[in-house]
Structure 1
Amino acid sequence: MSILTHSSAEHGGASAKRQRGSSLQRVVLKNGSVRWRFRLDLAPDTKTGKRRQRTLTFATEREAVEAQARARSEVHADTYIEPVRVTVAEWLQTWQDINARTWRPATAQSYRHTLVPVIAALGPRRLQELRREHVETMVRHLERLPTRTGGKRSARSTAYALRLLTTALDAAIAEDILKRNPAKHVKAPTQRAQEMQTWTATEVRAFLDHVADGPLVGGWHLTAVGLRRGEVLGLRWCDVDLDAAEVHVRQSRTPAFGEVAVVEPKTKRGRRTVPLTPEAVAALRRTRQQTLLDNPVIPFQAKRDANRLVIVNQAGDPIHPSTWGHWFDRHVEAAGLRRIRLHDMRHTAATLMLQAGITPVVVAGILGHSPAVLLTTYAHALPNAKRDAVDLLAAMYRAGS
């Protein structure tokens, strides 16, 4: 049982600094140790109108005096945040649970994976005790942390983790759990632009020639046009109009939480119609013949189902996105071509179209980008665009003289 005694000047020099009306009390615990407590009057309950108080305890009188003065000032200014015992790990999990229903499955998985080292570094700490120096230490820790494959962690991934933490802490402020965001002014690591690898038109032609006899040649032609991996694998035969030579991008197949989710495009620009080359149309006809019409594994009635996926394996089942990437790597090696990533085929399509003089707005429409993002990403593909524009303008001026 603890013993409560009103403090007096004999208990330390901090007594004289107490503000008028202090409710500070000296508490002697069973083991003889001393604690200091005060009661704080809060705004009445908004629903019942009942009086509310909060009792706070500190190890030293000085801490209690300073905390009482600070708390009373914050209550008066209506900026006081009531203490909670929530840890950083608990809040980050709560934040994810609250928002997961509005996130795409792949986004939720990405966030969860990115926050794993953040929770490992900061998780046990009380959320309201989190300070900027703790976040700074976490950033330095993440910079030294190796990846799952043992490689060096990129500055981009560390900056991404810091950005997610900052967003989650902003949400805690909105919920009146924090007064300020300790991650707000922590500087993210400097990110170096990732060097983009692209093929020449000759290399693309060599790749398409190499896969020409395969049953999935239509999918590789779609990749060469600039469709994303998930868009190629999510395409159904009802999305393909071979007579009009175009495909309609309406859904995507994306890895999420160990499974593959079928999701709609992120933006209105992502939901688009993409024209096909005559070669791509012919390739898709061959794919349809080999994987669907001539496939003895698929029942006759099922072959008439327009919702069947275009890119499937020999059993007629969907292909996992990572498998599509592995097959691309194997084809590149077998064809003796310079190695690039599967996603670099999309970069290749954009770069070649821009270099051929296709307007950025048209290229952006094919890729499902905004023109602004396209120009920022592929500015390297237009090194002489300004000079060409000025020369053309000068020619028009001369013609008008």
Structure 2
Amino acid sequence: MSEPIKKLPPNAKGKVRYRFVVDAGTDPETGKRKQLRRTFNTLREAKAEYARITSKRHEGTFVPPNKITVNEWLDQWLVMKAEDLEPTTVYNYRVTLDRVRGKLGNVRLQELTEDHVVAWMRWALQGGRVRGGKAGTGLGVTSVDMSLARLKDALNRAVTRGLVTVNVASEVHIPLKARKAERKTNLAVSLGYA
């Protein structure tokens, strides 16, 4: 078997680089083989990355890089979900996910982190209202919880489809303090104190 890492001829600046090409599975839509080409400045870096990728591939946990954004994935996910849902439910999912899209939509799906989701949740609770009520005030806990639940569902499907390795939103939840504060405010309003 030939060496998978090839030494490239010096470039215009006289720099030698190292490259390998590795199978990255098949495209689910076309069925064609996908390959990943990686180039490094040192042989050591190339060997380390080649070992990491081949190890993950053998474990079945390798996810090839892609440029899909959160918005693009949510669009695809909603099309898949629409086959099993009533039109009114699909509409509600769209409205619920629109709360997420404004802050997280342009982030690449593979670059989305738990910190992104937590920052979005805090923003939504504190100033995420854009319609219905005073703009810039916080959304209700139930509204944020519904958006978070839909995002978790979409990210679970992204894991299943091999687009990401983990659902970064799986452990994000509305803080107990926010839930208690909303209950207290609602009670005060219902009793006429606010």
1:127 aligns with 2:113: no
What's 1:170 paired with?
156
Which of the numbers 129, 133, 146 marks the counterpart of 2:129? 146
Q: Distance in 2 between matches of 1:34 and 1:139?
A: 47
Deviation at 1:32, TM superposition (A): 9.0
Contact 1:24 1:65 in 2 (8 A): no
What one-letter code is carried by the residue in structure 2 that aligns with 1:86? I
* Alpha-carbon separation, structure 2, partners of 1:45 and 1:118: 28
Unaligned residue ranges in structure 2 (runs of 5+): none
The Cα offsets for residues 189-231 of structure 1, whole Å up to 9 and x where unpaired, read as: 3334565x99xxxxxxxxxxxxxxxxxxxxxxxxxxxxxxxxx
Shift of the 84–43 alpha-carbon distance from structure 1 to 2, 3 Å rule, reads closer
Question: Which aligned pairs between 1:226-245 and structure 2 lie closer than 5 A?
Answer: none
SS in structure 1 of the partner of residue 61 of structure 2? coil
1:65 positional shift: 5.1
> Quick one: structure 1 residues 45 and 181, their matched pair in 2 at CA, closer, same or farther if it must change by over 3 Å?
closer
Q: Which runs of 4+ in 1 moved over 3 A?
A: 24-37, 41-46, 49-53, 60-67, 192-195
Q: What letter is aligned with 1:160?
A: M
1:10 — aligned with what? none
Partner of 2:174: 188
Structure-1 separation of matches of 2:32 and 2:129: 54
Q: 1:3-152 to 2 correspondence within 5 Å?
A: 23=5, 37-42=19-24, 53-57=35-39, 61=42, 66-144=48-126, 145-148=128-131, 149-150=133-134, 151-152=137-138
Q: Deviations over 1:120-145 (max 9, x none)?
A: 11111211122222222222222222
Amino acid at match of 2:162: D
Superposed CA deviations along residues 71-92 of structure 1, whole A, max 9, x for unmatched, are 1110121221222221111000
* Structure 1 residues 116 and 71, CA gap change in structure 2 (3 angstroms): same
Give TM-score, length-normalised by structure 2. Answer: 0.71
Q: Is the 8 A contact 1:44 1:52 kept in 2?
A: yes
In 2, the alpha carbon distance for the partners of 1:130 and 1:34 equals: 34
Contact 1:37 1:64 survives alignment (8 Å) = yes
SS of 1:38 mapped into structure 2: strand
* CA distance in 2: counterparts of 1:104 and 1:163, whole angstroms: 18
- Go from structure 1 to structure 2 and tell me whether the alpha carbon gap of 1:156 and 1:67 turns closer, same or farther (over 3 Å shift): farther
How many aligned positions are there?
Answer: 176
Alignment of 1:160-309 (within 5 A): 160-190=146-176, 191-192=179-180, 193=183
1:114–1:44 CA distance, 2 compared to 1 (3 A): closer
Show the counterpart of 1:157: 143
**How much does 1:160 deviate?**
1.6
Contact 1:25/1:38 (<8 A) preserved: no
Find the structure with the greater CA-based Rg.
1
Using CA pairs under 8 Å that are at least 6 residues apart, name the structure with larger relative contact order, 1 or 2: 2
**Can you give the 5+ residue segments of structure 1 that lack an aligned partner in the other structure?**
1-20, 199-338, 340-401
Q: TM-score w.r.t. structure 1 length? A: 0.37
What is the CA RMSD across the aligned residues, in angstroms? 3.7
| Closer/same/farther in 2, CA of residues 186 and 31 from structure 1, 3 Å limit | farther
